[in-house]
């Protein structure tokens, strides 16, 4: 990928800002310890307010998720009367593109089974198993087994094989999904299936759709008056193997799940993540997915947003899709894989230069949007990398470097005041524990009831995981981009508890 001077400069900005902030913190702690201590105190107060706001969004999101799962969406579909922007749901086709690379059959089978068993007319369901040529031996064997077992649940069961070594492509999910979608388009046109009535859901190999996923999505799509310009985002719950993974992985998985629930209640800032859906016509219009970046899922939103001159947004769909938490054969490898997964997610800062330059170029988009969208990327990633460090470490800097400041009344009272302020976060944490206990699957029989004690005590590790698997991988990702040490796409290895 060729980078202009402006693009390269914008790659440097987030990481440089982050490190400038940390260096400034040390300088202020040495020369202006009182001012910096006051900043830390105000930040603690800001964080308390933010925690309670997030907690309110999480409660609201959980209620919406719970309500959605209790409804009979097939019955609700039957009651839809087409007209005035509402379409007949029977016109809607659903396609699932399941991208896979080196995942074993024991991981793929439950995912395909979930799509097969999801409630929707068989004649309107199409499945695409998107494989890679560089994994062709195992992939072809898996495809034969899966087609034999599940093809009769779909109108079409398409297997694609993405060629290796195409110029300009990164070895990544976006390239695989794009190749599969191009072959899908040939099938749809041959069968005369309308592209603007075909919803394509792209999913990772471990994604298991809720049984009502297609019916809920159909209802939202059929009653959406701006369906041609919307993407649809279900709620990703990393809970398939939640009982089997170490506490650190559970906390990271639950944190990611909660963030998706919270973001779903703020549609004005929602972007596509992991499993998402859009019409085949929109995919054709924006030339499918980006094939040369790591995080193609979130880039998909920005590509559509700028292609349609700002007339594109993501609609939250409060139906879950279930995914795996990170698990490896050994504890040490699990920790390493967890870190690498978080770093890949944090590498979403790679979108910043693209979004800034597109915001400058496209004058047809309202000015406020051209400002707020780049700012959200910058602020969100800065906060991701710095907040835990500020809360746990920077508050001690004035005491460590401030010289005479250590002897003052302020120095002895601010840490105590900060601790008392942050103690309020345990109220929000209690709510989190309660909601998490209701979101996760039922306890497997081979685990004793005492396992619940571990599931509660794990939350005491939150400060540690927030730094090690939150701030540090984000700092790592931004620093790599700043230095031009570009990351490739890292596939999180999928391991079932049985094979562990």
**From the centroid of its chain, how far is CA 342?**
10
pTM summary value: 0.93
Averaged pLDDT, 84-94: 95
pLDDT over 80 (residue 64): yes
Show the tokens assigned to 311. 């007339």
pLDDT at 499: 55
Quote the DSSP letter at residue 163: P
Strands of 313-323's sheet in order across = 156-162, 125-132, 93-99, 198-203, 276-279, 230-238, 313-323, 208-209
Domain limits of the chain? 74-329
Q: Which tokens belong to 467? A: 């730094």
- pLDDT tens for 397-418 read 777 766 666 666 666 666 666 6
User: For 42-57, what is each residue's pLDDT tens digit?
Assistant: 888 888 888 889 999 9
Residue 245, phi then psi, degrees to nearest 5: -95, 160
Q: List Cα–Cα distances, 284 to 96, 124, 217, 226, 287, in angstroms.
A: 16, 20, 20, 18, 5
User: Following CA atoms 275, 276, 279, 282 in sequence, which dihedral angle do they give, to the nearest 10 degrees?
Assistant: -100
Would you call 317 helix, strand, or coil by DSSP? strand
Please give the pLDDT value at position 62. Answer: 96
Q: Is the pLDDT of residue 128 over 70?
A: yes
Continuous segment of H or E residues that includes residue 198: strand 198-203
Q: What's the CA angle centered on 177, arms 173 and 182, to 5 degrees?
A: 155
Q: Is 97 exposed, middle or buried (0-12, 13-18, 19+ CB in 10 A)?
A: buried
**Tokens standing for 172?**
């990544």
Quick one: 74-329 is in which CATH superfamily? Spore Coat Polysaccharide Biosynthesis Protein SpsA; Chain A (3.90.550.10)
Q: Cβ(338)–Cβ(252) under 8 Å?
A: yes
Say whether pLDDT at 194 is over 70.
yes
pLDDT at 332: 93
23/391 Cα distance (integer angstroms): 16
CA 306 from chain centre, in angstroms, equals 21
In this prediction, residue 230 carries a pLDDT of 98
User: Among 230, 214, 347, which Cα is nearest to 278's?
Assistant: 230
């Amino acid at each position: 990928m060729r980078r202009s001077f402006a693009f390269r400069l914008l790659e440097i900005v987030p990481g440089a800002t982050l490190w400038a902030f940390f260096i400034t913190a040390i300088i202020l702690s040495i020369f202006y310890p009182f001012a910096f201590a006051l900043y830390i105190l105000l930040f603690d107060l800001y964080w308390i307010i933010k925690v309670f706001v997030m907690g309110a969004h999480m409660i609201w999101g959980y209620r919406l998720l719970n309500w959605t799962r209790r409804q009979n969406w097939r019955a609700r579909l039957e009651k839809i009367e087409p007209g005035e922007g509402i379409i007949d749901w029977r016109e809607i086709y659903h396609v699932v593109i399941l991208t896979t690379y080196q995942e074993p059959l024991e991981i793929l089978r439950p995912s395909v089974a979930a799509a097969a068993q999801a409630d929707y007319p068989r004649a309107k369901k199409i499945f695409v198993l998107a494989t890679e040529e560089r994994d062709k031996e195992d992939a072809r064997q898996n495809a034969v087994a899966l087609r034999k077992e599940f093809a009769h649940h779909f109108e079409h069961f398409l297997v694609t094989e993405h060629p290796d070594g195409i110029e300009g492509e990164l070895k990544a999910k976006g390239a695989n999904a794009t190749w599969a979608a191009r072959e899908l388009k040939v099938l749809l046109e041959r069968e005369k299936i309308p592209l603007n009535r075909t919803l394509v859901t792209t999913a990772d190999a471990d994604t298991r759709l809720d049984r009502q996923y297609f019916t809920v999505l159909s209802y939202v799509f059929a009653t959406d008056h701006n369906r041609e310009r919307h993407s649809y985002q279900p709620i990703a719950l990393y809970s398939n193997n939640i009982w089997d993974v170490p506490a650190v992985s559970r906390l990271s998985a639950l944190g990611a799940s909660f963030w998706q629930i919270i973001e779903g209640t703020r549609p004005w800032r929602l972007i596509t993540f992991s499993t998402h859906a859009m019409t085949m016509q929109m995919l054709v219009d924006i030339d499918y997915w980006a094939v040369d970046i790591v995080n193609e899922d979130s880039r998909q939103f920005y590509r559509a947003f700028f292609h349609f001159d700002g007339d594109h947004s993501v609609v939250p769909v409060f139906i879950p899709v279930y995914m795996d938490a990170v698990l490896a054969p050994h504890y040490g490898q699990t920790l390493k894989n967890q870190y690498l997964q978080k770093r890949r997610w944090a590498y979403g800062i790679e979108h910043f230069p693209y979004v800034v330059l597109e915001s400058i170029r496209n004058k047809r988009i309202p000015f406020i949007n051209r400002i707020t969208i780049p700012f959200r990327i910058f602020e969100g990633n800065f906060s991701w990398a710095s907040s835990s460090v500020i809360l746990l470490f920077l508050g001690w800097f004035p005491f460590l470097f401030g010289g005479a400041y250590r002897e003052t009344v302020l120095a002895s009272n601010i840490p105590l005041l900060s601790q008392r302020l942050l103690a309020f976060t345990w109220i929000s944490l209690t709510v989190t524990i309660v909601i998490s206990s209701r979101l996760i699957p039922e306890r497997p029989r081979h685990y004793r009831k005492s396992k619940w004690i571990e599931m509660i005590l794990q939350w005491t590790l939150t400060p540690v995981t927030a730094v090690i698997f939150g701030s540090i991988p984000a700092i790592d990702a931004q620093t790599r981009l700043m230095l031009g040490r570009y990351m490739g796409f890292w596939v999180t290895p999928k391991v079932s508890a049985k094979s562990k």
